[in-house]
Structure 1
Amino acid sequence: MNIQSILIIGGGLAGFTVAQNLRSRGYAGRLDIIDPAGIPYDRPPLSKGYLLGDKDAAGIELAPAAWFTEYRVGLVRATVRALELEPLGVELEDGQRLHADRLVLATGGSARPLPIRGGDLGSVLVLRNKEDADRLRTKIVPGTRLVIVGAGLIGAEVASSALALGAEVTLVDPVDPPLVPAVGPELARRLHAMHGDAGITVIHGTPVGIARTQGGHRLEMADGQVVDCDEVLVGIGIIPNTELAQAAGLETDNGVLVDTNQRTSHPGVFAVGDMARTRNADGTLLRRGEHWEHAMNTGATAAAALLEQELPVHGASWFWSDRHGTHVEGVGDMNAEGTTILRMNDGEPVAAFRIAADGRMLGAAAIDGGLTIRAARRIIDKGIIVQPVSLADPGVPLKKLAR
């Protein structure tokens, strides 16, 4: 191996993690991150602390400017127009060409537009980057009538933050309740009910059109209901940014296809984060991961693979979210085939565990139960068999069961 230069295209968490891990693993060659945003920053605070004003732009940076100087990681503030595979490199928007021994794609995803009449209006808001959050923040003042389409993690977080900023929030989703695959139906129902309890208007239905009005916007529902508002924000997931890869001839299928080393169909090009989709050796395709820890894990794997070092072993997938002063976490697969064991407190479910027929834990979710999820992850990763009666007993600390 004689890698003297690596270009990372995309400065989100996944791309930054590649750079961070390359240096910590001993790579001493040239290393640059190309991104129009400059210093990489964290995305989760955009719907919470940054939107609320509790954190400023410097407060969400993944590392200060001094870190990039100390570890000799160049920041190229530019947009990539095209990938070049022979020789390996990129063409920037201004026509400049940069070449390297290896390329890492970390271009993330773009907000999925509503596939309805008016869904592509320029006035419809989304939340994917700092500029989106800045725009949204300027639109929200006390009394702003905000409709959010999509009550998943992002929609729920923005609804909670917007309410705290004084907006009159309406949350629209055809699914009742959302998040069942992530946390199970019992916790999903409790979490979704928090919106109404907090004063948010919740509509279960399907939008069919958005139109501009003199005073703002009008959302039309399939059942004929009309919702007038000032602003509309759409949070229904992302579309992976695969345009560069496709144009260069790399294999894609709802993401850039990679092997378990994060290597694409070109041996010198790797892909990480939201836009990468793993193809197993037998040809089966896994679902793309779109959560924070997945970005870190794929970045760490790619760094090890680039240096031909032993790949890191990652535990069961984990995510978290916040709404209305409540913290929710999940680990593993709550949608896997099996049965659910609930842990109750004062008649309300506080944790749910998905158990296979052979007794193995497959997934877990909890409300304000970080220690529970940490223990559940160990139980899942170690294959520890826990008796259902113990899982259901709120008096039994899960940490005790994870030993």
Structure 2
Amino acid sequence: MSLAPGGRVVVIGGGLAGVSLAEALRAGGHGGPIAIVDREPAFTDRPPLSKAAFVDDAPIEELALLTPDRIAELGIDARHGRNAVALDAAARTVELDDGTVLPADAIVLATGGRARRLAFPGGDSPLVHTLRTYADARAIRAAAAPGARILVVGAGLIGAELASSLRAVGADVVLVDPHPVPLVPAVGGRIAGILHAMHAAHGVDVRVGGIAALEDGEHAGQADAPSRPLASRPGSADGARTPGQEDERPPLRSPGSAPVPAPGRRATAVLNDGGRIEVDAVVLGVGILPGTELAEAAGLEVDDGIVVDARFRTSVAGVYAIGDVARPRAVDGSLPRRDEHWEAARLDGEALAAILLGQEPAPRGAGWWWSDRYGVHVEGVGRMDGDGEIVLREPVDAGGGYPVAFLLAGGRLAGAVSIDEPNAVRAARRLIDQGVPVTATLLADPSSSLRDLLRAAR
């Protein structure tokens, strides 16, 4: 389907995917109405929530993807602070929580996801936080006074970034994860070990396990003293399933469950190995659940995300899905994992804009991501798990720097990860996208230039 010149587009979700779609439609010459419906007070860029914006206590205006002037320039009908409550696919309308009904020629679900919660006694306490919105970040920041002890559950990318930011503002941090060394599938064992060791080096109390309960402050005196940080050991990967019993929403209290701590009271976190820790707050950094409620109610096909084809079409004509919530079906009919990285959301929006304008989207290369913690910058491209051989390029200066890790599969590069070496990853991305043959010897040799390999392949 191509939009008519005056076609109406309603986008549900004002994150990066939805905003990128709107900007690309306007850049491509679309003059029809575009509305973006979002429950937040601004179209927010989420990565800074766990990084510099958290540390600097930045106002929401600094995290906005579009300024008010830019929204006006683009002619976007911005419905801030509103929820879409019903989608009538047959009538092509979207109903908002204030009773407004928006007609559309194309409805785009860019609903992202909500932070995953875990079910444990006391898990509905106001001391238990997740990080997904600006308000979430402010609540965690308010709890993180210097000397406050914060338990972070989950040491994946977000949990690790948050632990780093909490240390930067003076909080004491206990970090718990079921894997002795998280992130092995994402970055390889060597890089994962280096990154995980940074926690202990920066004063984080690192533990293996999960949270079993949160008890009222009256039990605080029974808590253990913080343990000494654990040494890094090879282990399994950071996975989508995380410490504790997962649940989609805060658990209901039941007879015999742990009493819920009152706001402002220190509580005792009980770990699943029996350890007890006095904490001022708990933050769950255990991934997201896709925001599929509206799609399910409208009868769209849903399977851990909204199922779409290669052109972002859902199972209902005229309705599309992009970003974190979309789960594209592969050519063989399988459903790979959703891609929740920042760049993927932006590219989804740009690609769907091209499709709606009757154009072919630009080819997409290997997936790229980044993360920041403890003053270092991590980048990755492609994959670092599955078939293949991990090849390490050690730093030229043995006393400083970090190795670059590559995954070599079938004589070609499949993935790369670096710490403070972004140029290596960007060159690796071009090698992957162009299918340039490489050898383990060349990849491991710090004197060989990845850019020279690209030039030689031309």
Q: TM-score, normalised by structure 2?
A: 0.85
Residue 316 of structure 1: how far off its partner (Å)? 0.3
Match of 1:206 in 2: 210
- 1:32 counterpart (24, 35, 49): 35
Q: Which runs of 5+ in 1 are unaligned?
A: none
Q: Which stretch has the larger CA shift, 359-368 or 88-97?
A: 88-97
Residue 398 of structure 1: how far off its partner (Å)? 2.4
Q: Which stretch has the larger CA shift, 301-310 or 185-194?
A: 301-310
- 1:324 counterpart (367, 374, 384): 374
Match of 1:305 in 2: 355
Aligned Cα root-mean-square deviation (Å): 1.4
Q: Does 1:393 align with 2:445?
A: yes
Counterpart code for 2:112: G
1:39 and 1:75 in contact (8 A); partners too:
no
- 1:366 counterpart (418, 430, 433): 418
Q: Give aligned pairs, total.
A: 402
| 3-state SS in 1 of match to 2:425 | helix
Match of 1:353 in 2: 406
Counterpart code for 2:354: A
Q: Does 1:95 align with 2:148?
A: no
Residue 349 of structure 1: how far off its partner (Å)? 4.8
Counterpart code for 1:10: G
- 1:111 counterpart (111, 115, 138): 115
Counterpart code for 1:170: V
1:207 and 1:220 in contact (8 A); partners too:
yes
Q: Which runs of 5+ in 2 are unaligned?
A: 219-264
Match of 2:271 in 1: 221
Match of 2:297 in 1: 247
2:379 and 2:419 in contact (8 A); partners too:
yes
Match of 2:21 in 1: 18
Match of 1:48 in 2: 51
Match of 1:344 in 2: 394
Counterpart code for 1:238: I
| 3-state SS in 2 of match to 1:193 | helix
- Tell me how far apart the structure 2 counterparts of residues 75 and 315 of structure 1 sit (CA, whole Å): 32
1:273 and 1:299 in contact (8 A); partners too:
yes
| 3-state SS in 1 of match to 2:403 | strand
1:371 and 1:399 in contact (8 A); partners too:
no
- Bigger relative CO (Cα 8 Å, ≥ 6 apart): 2
Q: Does 1:196 align with 2:196?
A: no
2:322 and 2:349 in contact (8 A); partners too:
yes
Residue 54 of structure 1: how far off its partner (Å)? 6.1
1:31 and 1:73 in contact (8 A); partners too:
yes
- Tell me how far apart the structure 2 counterparts of residues 89 and 304 of structure 1 sit (CA, whole Å): 23
Match of 1:128 in 2: 132
What is the percentage of aligned positions where both structures have the same residue? 46
Residue 98 of structure 1: how far off its partner (Å)? 1.1
- Tell me how far apart the structure 2 counterparts of residues 311 and 114 of structure 1 sit (CA, whole Å): 39
- Tell me how far apart the structure 1 counterparts of residues 352 and 122 of structure 2 sit (CA, whole Å): 40
- Tell me how far apart the structure 2 counterparts of residues 115 and 260 of structure 1 sit (CA, whole Å): 36
Match of 1:69 in 2: 72
Match of 1:178 in 2: 182
| 3-state SS in 2 of match to 1:114 | strand
Q: TM-score, normalised by structure 1?
A: 0.96
1:259 and 1:279 in contact (8 A); partners too:
yes
